[in-house]
Amino acid sequence: MNETTISKDTKRAVIYARVSTDDQDCARQVADLTAWAKRAGYCLVCAPYIETASGMKTARKARAEIIAQAQRRQIDTVLVTELSRWGRSTIDLLDTIEQLASYGVSLEALNGMTFDLKSAHSRLILRLLAGLSEFERDLIAERTKSGLAHARSKGVKLGRPQGNKTDEQHRDAVLELHGLGFSYREIASKLRIGKDTVGRVLKASATS
């Protein structure tokens, strides 16, 4: 549908569907969300965004494209089957909901969870999420300390390598922190190594 034919009262929506592995597909998610959009009278402004990525994977191209579309004020809402399809963690969910809200875009899940920060109900839920995200940060910090201690017990030397040492020294610690959702920059800072080292370790792990 051409955007000029859309009534100003009609919500412009996009579908986001995600699976974790290549042997899964998004067909059921897309079908359910398409039917839901039709029942709600939403206008789907483009083809569904489909992504294959694990829950902890930081790079999500399709999700980034939706956020860019929101920034251009081309959509009013994002439809997902459940919040875990969109957010990598409570912290990530909170951050991206607020980012969408800053562009006037809501996030709606098929299970009934809707985040439209113009409503008091959504703002209350967001405050609860903020509390949960703080709790999650504490858990991550605790797991990080445990992971670093485990890495040290295996003989992994943490910190910037001296001389011509291999990335293997930092492999366990880098993978541990990456698995907990830390960014390249955060991992490099915590281990006092370069981002290039982090990148090489993760790239080698992904291809091994």
**Catalytic annotation, residues:** 20
Rounded to whole angstroms, what are the CA distances from 184 to 33, 85, 188, 195? Answer: 34, 23, 6, 6
Phi-psi bin for 166: left (phi > 0), alpha (psi -120 to 50), beta? Answer: beta
Say how far apart CA 38 and CA 59 lie, in whole Å.
30
* Sign, Cα dihedral of 81, 71, 1, 49: negative
One-letter amino acid at 119 equals: S
3-state secondary structure of 33: helix
